Amino acid sequence: MPKNTHDVIVVGAGHNGLTAASYMAKAGLDVVVLEKNDWIGGAAVSRELYPGWKYSNCSYVCSLLRPEIMRDLELYKYGLQIIPYEGSATMMKNGDYYTHYHDHDMTINSIRRHSHKDAEAYERYSRDVLRQCKIIKPLLKMTPPDLTSFKPKDLFGALEFAKHFAAKDELDGLGEKEIYDTIRFYTMSIRDYLEEYFESEITKAHLAGSAIIGTALGPCSPGSAYVLLHHYMGEVDGSVGSWGYARGGMGSITQAMMGCLKDHGGEVKPSSEVTNVITKNGKAIGVATQNGDEYYAKKIVSNLDVKRTFLKITEEKDLPDDFVKSVKNFKIRGSSGKLNIALDALPDFPCIPEGDPGGGGDMHFTETIEEMEGAYDDWKRGEWSRNPYVDMCIPSKSDPTMAEPGKHYMSVFIQYVPFNLANGGWNEERKQEFGRHIVDCISEFSPNFKDLINHYEVRTPLELENEVGLTEGNIFQGELTMDQLMFNRPVPGYAQYRTPLKNMYICSSSTHPGGGVMGAPGANAAREVLLDMNVPQKGNYY
């Protein structure tokens, strides 16, 4: 027997890889996780690039991570704590602002300042979106059935899927009208959807933000309404749609997962980039790493996106042609950038009165959907948005562990930023120019912001690809559009975490239910591996 033999190899120590590894280790398997970087966590990391400040370098807020996973893996015991947000705000050029709060009544009062009609419409909108959240929630944990298969598992699965879709469990069933609404919701643009409820531009602009974050769609693109749902379907302790910070940054999530994995005998090897999957007789039997090591296992689970998994580390000859073609066609377009900023003090945002909890969470300055669409138009031309949509927050306002008291860490997520920058692509100079542009945009709403900056890290889609390993820097590991969701994710016919290569599985966000720090793809994939290995599964998740 060759050295380095395990039950399971997981390629990539992102949150889904670690979730899958932890569930399998808890079930008693011998699991090793191989990570290319010399730190772990993928896109859920906290790194100190400037002394005294911790950055959530990539993902920066948490809502989607399934509570059942946190419970099963006892992430609290290993140091994870979620701190809910207080509110969110959009600043306006005329000095006014628009806010949402943790408290529903405060939100209603805030909307009423802009439109009496919208304040009431918000109740109706909340009900309808919550209904969609309830419909989708049970689907997240399911392995999508193969609709073309006649295997009993798939037939029952399809029935189960349809049953949940008709919301038999959570909502006691839907009427004809609600089913039509659901189908419309999945295919509409967010602009069209919001227009059905609201009249005030600022209300629409504030709400539409969730529909474009991370996607290469604009607010007028069909399918963008679903992206909003994807950002709403999470929860913080039963408060659906709420977001929070991971105490100590997003790295606390993956560190806690690693704690659980190690406690159950699993192992994580940093600086071990997998270069290729070793096959024998059409089966995956192991992997080789950059540093020349070889690892062998009964099952190999890839946490890489579907393109990297099958176009980079797997050889084309081991895969069916039509599968390779589908993978090549998989849409995974980079559209976002990020700034992580170390601040000497809390910057003033004169639009938001001091003490208003609306400034406690995400802040924006895009006032209309047209502005947002304009930002998208720049991206289509291969340019970063001159007037970008930003999702900025200051986690250190709520989290005492990110910087010392009085100092602050600010995370600025920027939409849109192209992967293929026009006129010669990205280089250091243009990256810095992009960073300065964003700082200038924020300064328009915060006069003392620039003076407080100690250091900032600029992240373009290129860094996200090179460092984190997300193809084209797409944060969801693939667009969240109907052609790439559920039984179509990552590609039709292979939505059950298994791949055409025997003993090879995929657990990344390129699979159902998709991107975000959710853990569900990892937990779902682990279930399928355990099923194939006849290992009993335990936990609240299953």
Q: Which of these ranges, 160-168, 234-242, 427-435, 500-508, lies near another protein under the rule CB under 8 A?
A: 234-242
Strand partners, 395: none
**Range list of β-strands (E), 353-426:** 363-364, 389-393, 408-415
Q: Which of 26, 100, 230, 247 binds another protein (CB under 8 A)?
A: 247
CB of 77 to another protein, least distance (A): 8
CB of 165 to another protein, least distance (A): 20
Q: Please tell me whether residue 4 binds another protein under the rule CB under 8 A.
A: no
96 vs 103, beta carbon nearer another protein: 103
Contacts with another protein in 345-364 (CB under 8 A)? 357
Q: Which of 71, 280, 325, 331 binds another protein (CB under 8 A)?
A: 71
Q: Please tell me whether residue 406 binds another protein under the rule CB under 8 A.
A: yes
Residue 16 parent element (H or E): helix 15-26
CB of 130 to another protein, least distance (A): 12
Q: Which of 102, 141, 164, 512 binds another protein (CB under 8 A)?
A: 102
Q: Please tell me whether residue 404 binds another protein under the rule CB under 8 A.
A: yes
Q: How far apart are CA 231 and CA 129, in angstroms?
A: 11
DSSP 396: G
Q: Please tell me whether residue 75 binds another protein under the rule CB under 8 A.
A: yes
CB of 31 to another protein, least distance (A): 23
Q: Please tell me whether residue 70 binds another protein under the rule CB under 8 A.
A: yes
- The answer to whether the CB of 476 falls within 8 A of the CB of 215 is yes
* Nearest CA among 382, 366, 45 for reference residue 212: 366
Return the number of other C-beta atoms located less than 10 Å from residue 239's C-beta.
14
CB of 538 to another protein, least distance (A): 12
Q: Which of 28, 48, 67, 453 binds another protein (CB under 8 A)?
A: 67
Number of residues that bind another protein (CB under 8 A): 27
142 vs 482, beta carbon nearer another protein: 142
78 vs 434, beta carbon nearer another protein: 78
Termini Cα distance of the chain = 34
187 vs 401, beta carbon nearer another protein: 401
Q: Which of 187, 398, 443, 448 binds another protein (CB under 8 A)?
A: 398
DSSP 33-74: EE-SSSS-BTTS--EEEETTEEE--S---BS-S-HHHHHHTT
Q: Which of 37, 47, 48, 83 binds another protein (CB under 8 A)?
A: 83
CB of 67 to another protein, least distance (A): 5
Residues 6+ apart with CB under 8 A from 249: 45, 46, 54, 55, 56, 395, 399, 402
Question: Cis omega (within 30 of 0) on the bond before 222?
Answer: no
SS3 528: helix
DSSP 457-526: EEE-HHHIIIII--GGG-TTSS--SGGGSGGGSSSTT--SSB-SSBTEEE-STTSTT-SSS--HHHHHHH
SS3 453: strand
Q: Please tell me whether residue 196 binds another protein under the rule CB under 8 A.
A: no
Q: Which of 4, 30, 39, 106 binds another protein (CB under 8 A)?
A: 106
Q: How far apart are CA 152 and CA 174, in angstroms?
A: 26
CB of 86 to another protein, least distance (A): 6
Q: Which of these ranges, 24-32, 71-79, 156-164, 524-532, lies near another protein under the rule CB under 8 A?
A: 71-79
Q: Please tell me whether residue 123 binds another protein under the rule CB under 8 A.
A: no
- Mutual orientation of helices 15-26 and 520-532 as an angle, nearest 10°? 40
Q: Which of these ranges, 146-154, 307-315, 402-410, 421-429, lies near another protein under the rule CB under 8 A?
A: 402-410
Q: Please tell me whether residue 393 binds another protein under the rule CB under 8 A.
A: no
Can you give the three-state secondary structure of 150-213, one letter per residue? Answer: CCHHHHHHHHHHHHHHCCCCCCCCCCHHHHHHHHHHHHCCHHHHHHCCCCCHHHHHHHHHHHHC
Q: Which of 4, 37, 81, 443 binds another protein (CB under 8 A)?
A: 81
Q: How far apart are CA 18 and CA 303, in angstroms?
A: 9
Return the number of other C-beta atoms located less than 10 Å from residue 401's C-beta.
14
What one-letter code names the amino acid at 312?
Answer: K
Q: Please tell me whether residue 539 binds another protein under the rule CB under 8 A.
A: no
Give the contact letters, 10-49, x = binds to another protein (CB under 8 A), - = no: ----------------------------------------
Q: Please tell me whether residue 84 binds another protein under the rule CB under 8 A.
A: yes
316 vs 404, beta carbon nearer another protein: 404
195 vs 404, beta carbon nearer another protein: 404
Q: How far apart are CA 288 and CA 508, in angstroms?
A: 20
Q: Which of these ranges, 235-243, 259-267, 327-335, 425-433, lies near another protein under the rule CB under 8 A?
A: 235-243
- The answer to whether the CB of 63 falls within 8 A of the CB of 210 is no
Q: Which of these ranges, 114-122, 298-306, 398-406, 508-516, lies near another protein under the rule CB under 8 A?
A: 398-406
DSSP 94: T
Q: Which of 6, 24, 57, 86 binds another protein (CB under 8 A)?
A: 86
* Nearest CA among 269, 267, 285, 268 for reference residue 277: 285
Q: Please tell me whether residue 454 binds another protein under the rule CB under 8 A.
A: no
CB of 76 to another protein, least distance (A): 5
CB of 92 to another protein, least distance (A): 24
255 vs 477, beta carbon nearer another protein: 255
Name the site residues for another protein (rule: CB under 8 A).
Answer: 67, 70-71, 75-76, 81-84, 86, 102-103, 106, 236-239, 247, 357, 398-401, 404-406, 540
